[in-house]
Structure formats: structure tokens, C-alpha cells
């Protein structure tokens, strides 16, 4: 579960991390009331779960009433990378001289959490990791013992953090790790940590993602779940019990099993297409679950074609095929071409059962993906 920036900052502030004064607003009038109380300059920031908000026009700095109103008008209701902005965070501007990155995530290769610090803050940290990996200092944490104070100081030293603020940055990092552990986070970061002219540190942004499987023991965070949903598709996925991630492409992907879906996603990219989503409908492929999955993918305006990749294990291929037929027959009109590939138990029987008036059938995953990519290309011609 991804928290919005304002939700994460509330948690950070309660834990003692310095954050700018801010107010949440959902209308132009509320923005104007907020900036009147907070003062100028003020940052007006779209609250959506996407990166690069600033470059996409989702963050603006206002130095006057006129600029604040113009920013609120342009950001509220805008389409930001496929998401409609319904709320903005109005935040006091920070006069800074430097920007840092501080974060904690799981290093699956090492099987341990890793703390990361960099002087290359305020930019896409993934790009920094790819282009100049030495610019990021890392320290692995043994979860049995937690982060020792010396480890926080060490990684700040190795990152080249100025000595005037090194202890304050180490304190932020230690607090982030404590939150990472106590709140069952899968990722937590501040990008950027701003250094002011007076050598104070301020968390100007906040990212905090929570392990969905741990929400049962995080009741306060579970209450934020409904508010954290970005749009109707994500909300539907939660209701249906699907693992769903919306992407920026136009080839819809449905499968039963995370590994199967990831393989399909990679192949779409390999054959020149762009995946529109990750959608794992889990074990079994009964008609109701298939109908829900297709409804979600068909509802995504970005999707031009769909590839359905199902492996029949405990659920036999002929049962899966019947489920797909029933699901598609429930639609008055099939809005986008659907390509199906079945494998596993009774796969051949299932392929024969599939209604080819409603779907296109391919024997191999490679052929199915190529057909779906071709369908998406033709839909855009």
C-alpha cells in the first residue's frame, strides 16, 4: 500500500523528523485559505502516486496570491500520468542550499534492509543508481539487531554529507529505519532532504510504502488504505483481491501467478510493446474472477489489446476455458481484442473449448504476446 505524501509526512512529523508546515486542500478556495495561513513562497503539490510530478507540472511554487490561484487551477483536476489530481498539499517553501537523498528499502539479493544516503538529492534516485552508483552510500542492516547509531553516522560519512549537518541527517536516517521496522514498510525515503542556509535539515518530500500482508497488525495504517487508493481501478483490485499495478503502456496483461504475469510483461516489452498493467488474479480462474479481471482491464482507457496467460495446475485448462467463455459472453460487446494462451493440465482441451468468435487463441506464450502487441499497434493506426 502506497501512502500519499501528506500521509507519510504526518507519520514522519510524529516521529520527530522536521517537515515544512503544510495543509491538504481539494479546491481552489481551500488552497487560497491555506497559503494565506502558511505564507509565501508556498509549494502546491499534486497528491498522486507517480514520480516526476514536478516535471509533469504537478508541483508549482507560488510567490503571490495570483500565482497560487493559477497553480491551484492548473493542478487540481489535471491528468497526471493517467491519474486525476483531486487533492494538493499546500506547503511552506524552503530556502535551501543543498539537497540530499535518504532512504531504506529491502535488498533482496542480500536478504537484508539497506540504508542509502546520497548528496544527489532532488532527482530520480534510480537514475543516479544507474548512471553514477558510487554517488549512493549503502549500509546493510541486520534486522535482528536494528540500525546501530554508528551505522547511520558511517553511511553519512561515506556519502560525503557536510559535517555541519551529518548528525542531523544520521538522526533522520535512524528514525526512518525505526519507522520502516515498526510500521512494516517495504520502502521509505526522503527525496530531497533540504539543507537550509542556517544548516537545518528539512524533509521536503516523503515516500512510504507498506507491506499489504502486514496491515492486519497496523490498524492505524489500515484506516488510510481507502484514502490511499489512487483511482477506481486500484480500488477495484483491492476489493477483488487481485495483485494489480497500473503501468503506462497499452497492452493489458492478465495471468494467474506473479511469475507468470512478470514473464508476460517482460515479453511484451521484448517484442516492442508497452505493458499497461500487472494483474495477477491468483489461484483458479473461475468465471467470476475472469469477469472482474476483464472488467478492470477493459475499463483502463490506455489499454488497446489484452493478453490472457493462464497456467492450468490444480485448476484444469478446460475449466479455465469455460470460465473465460462465460466471462466474455457476459459482455454485450468485447471492446478490445483478447488473445488467450493456455498451458498445463488439460490445456489442449481448453484451447478447443475457447470461443474463437470472442478470443484469439495461440499455442505458445511468445505467439500470444506478439499477437497482442500487433493488435495494440493496429488499434492505434
Active site residues: 101, 189
Which amino acids are annotated as binding site for substrate, given as ranges?
Answer: 256, 313-315
Please provide residue 49's backbone torsions phi and psi, each rounded to the nearest 5 degrees. Answer: -90, 60
Gap between the Cα atoms of 2 and 124, Å rounded: 18
DSSP alpha helix (H) spans, 53-211: 65-75, 125-131, 149-159, 163-182
Residue 177 has, within 13 A of its CA and on its CB side, a CA count of 24
Closest CA to 369 of 279, 244, 275: 275
Which residues make up each annotated binding site for Mg(2+)?
191, 205
244 backbone dihedrals φ, ψ, rounded to 5°: -140, 135
SS3 97: strand
Cα separation, 52 vs 56, in Å, equals 6
- CB-based burial, 276-305: b 16+ in 10 Å, e otherwise: bbbbbbeebbebebbbbbbebbbebebbbb
Largest CA distance in the chain: 73
Phi and psi for 50 in degrees, rounded to 5?
Answer: -135, 155
Annotated binding residues: 45, 52-54, 91, 94, 99, 191, 205, 256, 313-315
Amino acid at each position: 500500500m502506497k501512502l500519499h505524501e501528506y500521509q507519510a509526512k504526518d507519520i514522519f512529523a510524529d516521529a520527530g523528523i522536521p517537515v515544512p508546515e503544510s495543509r491538504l486542500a481539494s479546491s481552489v478556495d481551500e488552497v487560497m485559505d491555506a497559503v494565506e495561513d502558511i505564507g509565501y513562497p508556498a509549494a502546491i503539490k499534486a497528491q498522486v502516486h507517480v514520480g516526476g510530478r514536478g516535471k509533469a507540472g504537478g508541483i508549482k511554487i507560488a510567490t503571490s496570491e495570483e500565482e497560487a490561484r493559477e497553480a491551484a487551477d492548473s493542478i487540481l483536476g489535471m491528468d497526471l500520468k493517467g491519474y486525476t489530481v483531486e487533492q494538493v498539499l499546500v506547503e511552506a517553501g524552503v530556502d535551501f542550499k543543498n539537497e540530499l537523498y535518504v532512504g531504506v528499502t529491502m535488498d533482496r539479493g542480500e536478504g537484508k534492509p539497506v540504508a542509502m544516503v546520497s548528496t544527489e538529492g532532488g532527482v530520480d534516485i534510480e537514475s543516479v543508481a544507474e548512471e553514477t552508483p558510487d554517488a549512493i552510500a549503502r549500509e546493510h542492516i541486520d534486522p535482528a539487531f536494528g540500525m546501530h547509531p554508528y551505522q547511520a553516522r558511517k553511511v553519512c560519512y561515506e556519502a560525503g554529507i557536510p559535517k555541519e549537518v551529518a548528525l542531523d541527517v544520521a538522526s533522520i536516517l535512524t528514525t526512518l529505519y525505526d519507522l520502516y521496522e515498526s510500521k512494516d514498510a517495504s520502502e521509505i525515503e526522503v527525496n530531497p532532504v533540504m539543507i537550509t542556509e542556517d544548516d537545518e535539515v528539512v524533509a521536503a518530500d516523503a515516500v512510504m510504502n507498506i507491506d499489504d500482508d502486514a496491515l492486519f497488525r497496523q490498524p492505524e495504517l489500515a484506516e488510510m488504505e481507502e484514502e490511499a487508493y489512487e483511482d477506481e481501478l486500484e480500488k477495484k483490485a483491492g476489493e477483488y483481491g487481485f495483485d494489480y499495478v497500473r503501468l503506462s503502456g497499452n497492452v493489458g496483461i492478465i495471468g494467474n501467478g506473479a511469475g507468470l504475469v512478470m514473464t508476460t510483461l517482460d515479453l511484451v516489452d521484448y517484442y516492442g510493446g508497452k505493458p499497461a498493467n500487472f494483474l495477477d488474479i491468483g489461484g483458479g480462474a473461475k468465471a467470476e474472477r475472469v469477469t472482474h479481471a476483464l472488467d478492470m482491464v477493459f475499463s483502463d482507457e490506455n489499454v488497446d489489446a489484452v493478453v490472457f496467460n493462464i497456467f492450468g495446475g490444480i485448476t484444469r485448462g478446460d475449466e479455465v476455458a469455460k470460465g473465460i467463455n462465460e466471462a466474455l459472453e457476459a459482455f454485450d460487446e468485447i471492446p478490445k481484442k483478447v488473445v488467450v494462451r493456455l498451458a498445463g493440465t488439460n490445456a489442449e482441451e481448453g484451447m478447443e473449448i475457447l470461443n474463437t468468435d470472442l478470443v484469439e487463441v495461440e499455442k505458445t506464450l511468445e505467439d500470444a504476446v506478439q499477437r497482442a502487441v500487433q493488435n495494440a499497434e493496429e488499434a492505434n493506426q
